[in-house]
Amino acid sequence: MQVRIIAVGKIKERFLSEGIAEYEKRLLPYLKLSIMEIAEERRGVHASGGQEQLVKDREGERVLAAIPDRAYVVALDVRGKEVSSEALATRMHDWQLAGTNSIAVIIGGDLGLSDAVLARAALWLSLSPMTFTHQMARLILLEQLYRACRINSGEPYHK
């Protein structure tokens, strides 16, 4: 299975970069992973609601252009469905059984995702009812993908 994570913004904190690199390495035996960073749109500190919408729309255009053809699109969104690690593993297994070999997981910037990106997604997923930075969401997502792969391989994982 190929998983492309399309994320708005760069990872700036070293500790997050190191954690992301560790989970990228751990995922190598299980799936083909790629991470594409989309440039954040610049805006003023006190941007109006209209300016923020324009920022999301511009970032969204770049995100949509990065989605592979025929990919099953999962958008991380606070309004998305919350699932357990086991349920995520089951979904990934079901996608494989259905012949879905390309998954694109979208992580928006600090303003979230544009309506166009959300409309393109087949699934909206929430990592937690708590709020995380979009940089932390990338690390958490990778850990959960790794956990799901271990579950599906019948390997032990920490509960």
Which pLDDT does position 157 carry in this prediction? 78
2-31 per-position pLDDT tens digit: 999 999 999 999 999 999 999 999 999 999
Domain positions in the chain are: 2-152
120-143 per-position pLDDT tens digit: 999 999 999 998 998 999 999 999
70-87 per-position pLDDT tens digit: 999 999 999 999 999 999
The reported pTM is: 0.93
Please state the three-class secondary structure of the chain as a single string.
CEEEEEEECCCCCHHHHHHHHHHHHHHCCCCEEEEEEECCCCCCCCCCHHHHHHHHHHHHHHHHHHCCCCCEEEEEEEEEEECCHHHHHHHHHHHHHCCCCEEEEEECECCECCHHHHHHCCEEEECCCCCCCHHHHHHHHHHHHHHHHHHHCCCCCCC
Residue 159 pLDDT level (bands cut at 50, 70, 90): low
What fold, for 2-152?
Alpha/beta knot (3.40.1280)
Q: Over 80: is that where the pLDDT of 46 sits?
A: no
